[in-house]
Amino acid sequence: MKILLLNFFTAAVAAQQMEIARFGGCLNETQVALEAAGTSDGVSPFSCHMESAHCGEGERWLTPMDVESEGFGPCGCDEDYDTNAYIGTCYDLSGSHQVVCAYDGSQCPENWMDLGQRFNNDHEIDESCNDESNASDNEESSCGKRCLCNYHYTSRDGPVDAGTSTYGICYNSESRTYECAVANHSCAEGEEFFGPHEGIDQYGAICNCDDTAVGACMEGGSTFSHCAVFEDSCGAGQSFTTARQLSSMSDMPSCRLCSNTWEGETPAPMAAPVSSPVSAPVNNPVSMPVSSPTNSVTAEDGGSGAFVQGSTVLMSALLYTVLSFAL
């Protein structure tokens, strides 16, 4: 039921103008110099990221505008595997030896190892690597073996599926509502952040990139410029508005990490009669005992399993809507 309400909410905001975030990246100037000198190890000096805190030591953060003007990128969160912005990678060193993705190391399951923000960046990405590819990892190239904005890490030679990375929630205990969000800096004052591995998926909060609201950069305080994950993706003189603030302003687009391109067969709901999402009752995740890491979403099953469940319920929800119209 809760999944259903969340997805109704998603369907409802689809009618509003939707915009996708622009992403920046990190530039390793040392690597640039090595490249110029012809002594580079082949690893790209530039990589797409969500915010400057994800850059390594000595690297320079490029805003989305810098990325474009300096000729790097493109950076995105769509089905193009090779241009996706990185997110963090977590590894269960002592137990299952599984890999899961999280926005950053602070959101890894408890006691899991943080493998950083750029896991397997030394891999050459297979040219044909995309949605529905088979994951691979050999000497020449790999596919599915990174944690990316749109794509979760794929175990072994499993199917690489778009829309599989999951995000956390900002939870408002007063209104008992939540909004999918990348990190606690997306939350409004008084809201609490729960990461993607804190058991929230058991409450139906399946947050894929298309569900995950981000903020925006504004010109002169009130003119929309572009959707952005964090304030360091704004240009000089621009100010950052959080997702929550943005949704309370009139005539503003709804900003997301990505749009849903992987459920092409789902018919667009026609002016579905949707009850206010604010009234959606949500169980309080605070009371949720954080499950032991071994019970967490696994790279292989849980992640995509939960995703499939979400889509199935969405399909039933849409079918139900269509039926209620017909009757």
Ligand X SMILES: *[C@@H]1O[C@H](CO)[C@@H](O)[C@H](O)[C@H]1NC(C)=O
Contact set with ligand X (CB under 6 A) = 28, 30-31, 34, 56-59, 132-134, 184-185, 187
> Which of residues 143 and 314 has its CB atom nearest to ligand X in the complex?
143
> Which of residues 66 and 219 has its CB atom nearest to ligand X in the complex?
66
Q: At 189, list the tokens.
A: 């004052």
| Minimal distance, residue 324 CB to ligand X, in Å | 38
Q: At 280, list the tokens.
A: 């959606």
> Which of residues 117 and 321 has its CB atom nearest to ligand X in the complex?
117
**Euclidean distance between CA atoms 237 and 139, whole angstroms:** 46
Give 27's strand partners.
46, 60
User: Are 215 and 228 spatial neighbours (Cβ–Cβ below 8 Å)?
Assistant: yes
> Which of residues 59 and 210 has its CB atom nearest to ligand X in the complex?
59
**Euclidean distance between CA atoms 105 and 282, whole angstroms:** 27
Give the CB-nearest residue to ligand X. 56
Q: Find the angle CA(93)-CA(293)-CA(262) to the nearest 5 degrees.
A: 95
| Minimal distance, residue 32 CB to ligand X, in Å | 9
> Which of residues 28 and 321 has its CB atom nearest to ligand X in the complex?
28
| Minimal distance, residue 17 CB to ligand X, in Å | 27
- Torsions phi, psi of 226, nearest 5? -160, 160
Dihedral of the CA atoms 166, 168, 171, 176 (nearest 10)?
20
| Minimal distance, residue 126 CB to ligand X, in Å | 10
Give 170's strand partners.
179, 193
| Minimal distance, residue 163 CB to ligand X, in Å | 17
